[in-house]
Structure 1
Amino acid sequence: MAQAYTAETGNDAARTRQTGSGAGRVRALLERLRGDRGIWRRGVILAVFAVIIALLMILHAQIPNRLGNLGSLTETFLPWFGVFVPLIAVAAVLRRSATAMIAVLLPLIVWLNLFGGLLTGKAAAADGELTVATHNVNADNPDPVGTAKEVAASGADILALQELPGGQVAAYEQALAGTYRYHAVEGTVGLWSKYPLTDTSPVDIKMGWTRAMRATVETPDGSVAVHVAHLPSVRVKLEAGFTANQRDNSADALGEAIARERTDRVVLLGDLNGTMNDRSLNAITSQMRSTQGAAGDGFGFSWPASFPMARIDQILVRGVEPVSSWTLPRTDSDHLPIAARVKL
């Protein structure tokens, strides 16, 4: 009996030495996983959710707008679908689900295909010939003079402002006079320039009052047609969904005005209340390039200023080459100002 006891104890020690090593632990883990058939059965719901997220990103253009403009709402916040990827991955690890871990690769690949290019540096090394900036200053801005000086400090050669209250236009004009020799205001939008402005006129975007304009800027390197616009706001309501019909109609009108532009080089500055992914802005985005998409680093979200979630302020160009694009520091507005450098 004593001999048997000694032999058994010796085997246990040997087994302990074997499994205690690194290789032994790995083999033991693999053996447990092979024996754990539930690793494939667990997390099926997580896997299905991952596939749904991937399909929504792939087929976002197929989501109809007939019901509360659901398609446009999805496209406005499309980059945020990537947040689900790490959440699903963490849940898959906690559930020890091989099925969910494999499934989460699908939305990851789709998201990187759609937005991965925005994560890499694209700014060109050479300086551009023209710096432009735009800012929705907010009609309720408590410090218009301070806001004007802050955006002027960006060094922009051309500055567009939107949501200018009639009673504060003089304050903006006075604050910007030392930086910009030329300016024009039409309705609630204005354009300030270091170079002469000609052919200034309002642009009808079917709103009943003026919230868009165009002017020709005579730069040292030739003429540039600059449009400034503030499209109607959109709302998200439980009973009506994503209400954007007026915005969409104004976008169509602005797209038609830009299509009629005879100048080869065109720049659009403004608050479009929509992202480049939003199909309802197709009349504009189909004929112009986003400086952020072409030469910016990151998403360049501009609204809301307290926690930017979407880029609804845009700098779009046609016939000029984007060099770089960025957001400017926060002012007293609920939007961030944005800027870009372009090569004529």
Structure 2
Amino acid sequence: MARRPTRHTPDTDRTAPPRGARPSKLGPLSAWFRPWRTRDTVVAGLAAGISALLLCHRLLPNPMGIGTLVDSFAPWLGVAVPLVALPALLGRCRAAVLLLVPALIWALVFGTAVPPNGRNEAGGVKVVTQNLYASNSEPKATLGDLSRTGADLVGLQEITSRTRSVATEALRESHPHHVAVGTVGLWSRYRLSDVRAVDLGLGWTRAVRAVAHAPHGKIAVYVAHLPSLRPDLVEQRDRGLRKLATAVAGETVEDVVLLGDLNTATTDRALRSLTRRLPNVAGEVTAGFGFTWPDTFPAVRLDHVLSRGVRVADAEVVDTRGSDHRAVRATLSG
């Protein structure tokens, strides 16, 4: 008798469910209920790491200023959430839901800075601080932009002998009173007195103090420029912050304002040594994050208006031409 030929089953039959098995009621969602995989562990670890950095970045060790750099760019840690979430969702990782934790933490810590304050009060004493930039090729344009803010007190940092002369000439009519020491200066509508340099322990003068005789009373005005936010200069910068804090702590005038490029971010742990003496109210009422550097795409706020004894009615970041920093303007009232 002839042998009956063997019947071959198509490959698709080999993966077919057993006869009588019921199809999954979850359909496409069944992929989310697979056993825990390596990629889930990785995503869960990243979610935990981002959350820890958002909450505890100021506790990181600070060798060579590494902790300071993380502090300075802490708001940008939130970008890591969508960067991790996208591939996690595409890969149907169950752990993707854990990324909601760092997203919520970011919203609670930094989200309150996003809505604009919507205020711009008239009256009071208007102040503005600007790093004029030593290599500024159009200082007249920068000063023109500052004049249009209507500021009564203009604090400038990183001035040179050339830009000092330009500033004096450009602001002669509107701000006839001025003082410049080293690379910082103050131009004022009001009479200035009791001028003195402030020692920041840097070996050269980068801070000045003067009393402005404003209509509502005296204001002690400090203008300062601290060393750059570089790992090799962090120690010098921190020393300068401590020296400034000591100076303003001993200030005898009740109303005090500091206009400066402090090269210290609002989120930097080191700034606390100074804001304990001079609260950063202007930073709190500034619309958005208030980043000032670099000018083309601000990523961090290095420029500040700190004050005590006066109410900060409003504040804003001002885009100016010629400098690599944006300016910060604020209105102070008694």
TM-score class normalised by the smaller sequence: 0.7 to 0.9
Q: Partner of 1:114: helix, strand, or coil?
A: helix
**Which residue identity does 1:141 align to in structure 2?**
N
Instruction: Give the equivalent residue in structure 2 for 1:341.
Output: 331
Q: 1:298 to 1:36 in 2, by over 3 A?
A: closer
Whole-Å Cα distance in 1 between the matches of residues 235 and 25 of structure 2? 58
Q: Indicate which of 215, 222, 235 corresponds to 2:217.
A: 222
Deviation per CA, 1:108-156: give whole Å up to 9, x if none: 1111121111012335465451211010001111122222122111111
Which residue number in structure 1 is paired with residue 108 of structure 2? 113
State yes or no: 1:61 paired with 2:51.
no
Q: What SS does the aligned partner of 1:179 have?
A: coil
Partner of 2:95: 99
Query: Is 1:286 aligned with 2:276?
Result: yes
Q: Does the 8 Å contact 2:31/2:92 carry over to 1?
A: no
Query: Counting helix residues as a fraction of each chain, which structure ranks higher?
Result: 1
Deviation for aligned residue 1:280: 2.0
Is 2:213 the partner of 1:208? no
Question: Shift of the alpha carbon at 1:181?
Answer: 2.1
What's the offset of the Cα at 1:91? 2.2
Compare 331-340 and 126-135 and name the one that shifted more. Answer: 126-135
Q: 2:286 aligns with which of 280, 292, 296?
A: 296
Please list every run of at least 4 consecutive aligned residues from structure 1 whose deviation after the TM superposition is greater than 4 angstroms.
123-126
**Which residues in structure 2 correspond to 1:155-170 (within 5 Å)?**
155-170=150-165
The aligned residue for residue 12 of structure 1 is none
Q: Which amino acid aligns with 1:32?
A: P
TM-score of the two chains, using structure 2 as the length reference: 0.87
User: Are the equivalent residues in 2 in contact too, given 1:256–1:283 (CA < 8 A)?
Assistant: no
Question: Secondary structure, in 3 states, of the residue corresponding to 2:247?
Answer: helix
Amino acid at match of 1:152: S
Q: Kindly tell me: are residues 44 and 145 of structure 1, through their superposed partners in 2, closer, same or farther at Cα, counting changes over 3 Å?
A: same
Partner SS for 2:64: coil
Q: Give the residue type in structure 2 aligned to 1:173.
A: T
Q: Distance in 2 between matches of 1:126 and 1:244?
A: 37
- Partners of 1:300 and 1:71 lie apart in 2 by 21
**CA distance, structure 2, for counterparts of residue 216 and residue 253 of structure 1:** 19
CA distance in 2, matches of 1:45, 1:332: 46
2:177 counterpart of 1:187: no
- Residue identity opposite 1:79 in structure 2: P
**Map of 1:331 onto structure 2:** 321
- Counterpart in the other structure of 1:6: none
**Range 245-254 or range 277-286, more displaced:** 277-286
Write the deviation string for residues 280-304 of structure 1: whole angstroms up to 9, x where unpaired. Answer: 2322122222244321111111111
Query: Does the C-alpha gap of structure 1 residues 319 and 96 become closer, same or farther in structure 2, counting only changes over 3 Å?
Result: same
CA shift for structure 1 position 247: 0.8
Instruction: Give, as a single letter, the amino acid of the residue that structure 1 aligns with 2:176.
Output: R
Instruction: Decide which of 126, 144, 149 is 1:149's aligned counterpart.
Output: 144
TM-score w.r.t. the length of structure 1 is 0.85
- Who is 2:18 aligned against? none
CA distance in structure 1 between the partners assigned to 2:54 and 2:45 by the alignment: 14
Q: Which 5+ residue runs of structure 2 have no aligned equivalent?
A: 1-23
Structure-1 residue corresponding to 2:69: 73
**Paired residue for 1:174?**
169
Aligned with residue 88 of structure 1, among 84, 87, 92? 84
Report percent identity of matched pairs: 38
- Partner in structure 1 of residue 257 of structure 2: 267
State the Cα distance separating 1:40 from its structure 2 match. Answer: 5.3
Q: 1:251 aligns with which of 241, 246, 261?
A: 241
Please say if residues 136 and 335 of structure 1, whose CA atoms lie closer than 8 Å, have aligned partners that are also in contact.
yes
- 1:32 is aligned to 28
- Between the two proteins, the alignment pairs up a number of residues equal to 311
